[in-house]
Amino acid sequence: MEGADGYAGKVKRWHEITTWYILWTQVSTMKSPPLCPVETTVRIVGGRWKAAVLEQLFRDAQRFSELKRAIPGITQRTLSQQLRELQTAGIVDRTVHPDMPPRVVYAITPLGESLRPLLDAMCRWGKSHSAAMALKKIRASDR
């Protein structure tokens, strides 16, 4: 009888593995639904630091150290990550000059420049609603 249980256990295990494989292949080959345009935009410019990085680059192309000094509170690691993400999205261009030591300059691309009106509108909205948001926060803390 012990041999029969061993065989049944192997069949059960094989069935679990094949079921998992079939489900995995179905899920991995499914295409995700397309993102709505707002979600696409938020994925590119969302987050705490990207707007600050873009604001600096809208002024002029800058080196990493200049960006780091111009954005208080941002860590070197975070700045590097944000620049990499913006570069991957085609918003920022990274140019390495073969000086000694090598000089890296970050600049806004034409695609990135197209974000300027959006960020300006967000800035205007924030300024015009900041007092109302602060008042709501004060009222909520009084409860």
Residues pairing with 95 in the sheet: 105
Q: How far apart are CA 140 and CA 143, in angstroms?
A: 6
Domain 48-142 adopts which CATH fold? Arc Repressor Mutant, subunit A (1.10.10)
pLDDT tens figures, 88-112: 999 999 999 888 888 899 999 999 9
Q: What is the mean pLDDT of residues 116-141?
A: 84
What's the pLDDT at 135? Answer: 74
Q: Is the pLDDT at 76 greater than 90, yes or no?
A: yes
Confidence of residue 133 (pLDDT cuts 50, 70, 90): confident
What's the pLDDT at 113? Answer: 96
pTM of the model: 0.69
Q: Is the pLDDT at 4 greater than 60, yes or no?
A: no
Three-class DSSP labels, 36-94: CHHHHHHHHHCCCCHHHHHHHHHHCCEEHHHHHHHCCCCCHHHHHHHHHHHHHCCCEEE
What's the pLDDT at 140? Answer: 74
